[in-house]
Structure 1
Amino acid sequence: MDLLSGQDQSNRIDVLIDTLKLEKHPEGGFYSETYRSTQSTANKEGVLMTSIYFLLTSENVSNFHKISNDELWFHHEGSPIVIHTLQDEMHKEYILGKSYKEACSPQHLVKGNTIFGSAVLEPNSYALVSCVVSPGFEFKDFKLFSYDELIKEFPNEKEIIKRLTP
């Protein structure tokens, strides 16, 4: 993994935001939808698949949220990302990246209805990933969580809940 340093990294983030036409995402980070299937689900309530570019930096996180459908994450460049899940009264961490060290994987599946958030692993860094949702992502299926909502269900996870809530 070759991380850029200092000004080069800041420039790279600006280039990615500009070139990929990334906008601020409600959960944190920056995104751009790159694909929305033209085929509908069997019940005609959504599309079969969507895909986005998603950029996180050390200055922002993906706050805890959930969506109804499965989401596959693919790492493209930059720092590994730690994907944090809260499920069955447990906090788990998965490392998404290309270093193949310490259980690091270049792709990760987050099952639908899982509460999750993420942050870059390295200080002063960024990560560019793609996220594919099937059936396709719709904002009506998106729920962002507050600290108060999560601490009731996961009282032993105060530190990570505080870090990954707005």
Structure 2
Amino acid sequence: MAILSDTPQQRLIDQLGLIPHPEGGFYRETFRDEASVVRVSDGAKRSASTAIYYLLCDDAYSAWHRIRADEVWHFYSGDPIHVHWLTNDGELVTHRLGNPLVHPETVFQAVVPANCWFAAERVPDPHGGVGYALAGCTVAPGFEFSEFELADAKSLATVNPAHGPVLARLAGR
């Protein structure tokens, strides 16, 4: 995605040292805990936690994916973000992240449970949005790309037909 150099989006990318993320948007890992934990379910040794900056610009979105750890989303700046996730029962849950002082019915933080399919999208403000949303994500136990799985949105839609439109809209590229 080409972003004009004089935009707030490009300034954030430059100042925070962000790079493209495979699921969409831009990111940079800001913390990886030196302490480690062993996951009881499979004995895997992981950093206790990790944190990133995550930026969605213009029409970019985080495609459906899942990881094997809980992920806490933190809102920092810009337009609200919808973080959608599917429960094990196939229910679609949507967290609306944002600054509740500016965007009613938003929250500063939300949690996506481990092993759930989830996706996120910037919610343009019809009254003059800024064209980006800056968030942070904290994962515990720490994030590893080896445990990152992009979804086959068509397969997800077959299992969850009631949510077909949002699954298709946020499908991987």
**TM-score with structure 2 setting the length:** 0.86
Residues 1:29 and 2:35 aligned together: no
Structure 1 residue aligned with 2:106:
104
Structure 1 residue aligned with 2:7:
11
Residues 1:132 and 2:133 aligned together: no
Task: Give the match's secondary structure for 2:34.
Answer: coil
CA RMSD of aligned residues (A): 2.0
Partner AA of 1:95 in structure 2: R
Partner AA of 2:108 in structure 1: P
Partner AA of 1:20 in structure 2: L
* Partner Cα distance (2:51, 2:135) in 1: 11
Partner AA of 1:132 in structure 2: T
Residue among 142, 163, 166 paired with 1:157: 163
* Partner Cα distance (1:157, 1:44) in 2: 33
- Partners of 2:64 and 2:153 within 8 A in 1: no
* Partner Cα distance (1:94, 1:8) in 2: 30
Name the count of aligned residue pairs: 160
Matches within 5 A, 1:33-72: 33-42=29-38, 43=43, 45-72=45-72
1:49-85 CA distance string (max 9 Å, x none): 1000000022210001111101111111000101111
* Partner Cα distance (2:94, 2:170) in 1: 13
1:12-48 CA distance string (max 9 Å, x none): 1000001111111011110000001111113561110
Higher mean C-alpha deviation, range 94-103 or range 147-156 = 94-103
Task: Give the match's secondary structure for 1:98.
Answer: coil
Higher mean C-alpha deviation, range 135-144 or range 95-104 = 95-104
How far does residue 156 in structure 1 lie from its aligned partner after superposition?
Answer: 1.4
Task: Give the match's secondary structure for 1:112.
Answer: coil
Residue among 127, 142, 150 paired with 2:148: 142
Partner AA of 1:37 in structure 2: D
Can you give the 5+ residue segments of structure 1 that lack an aligned partner in the other structure?
1-6
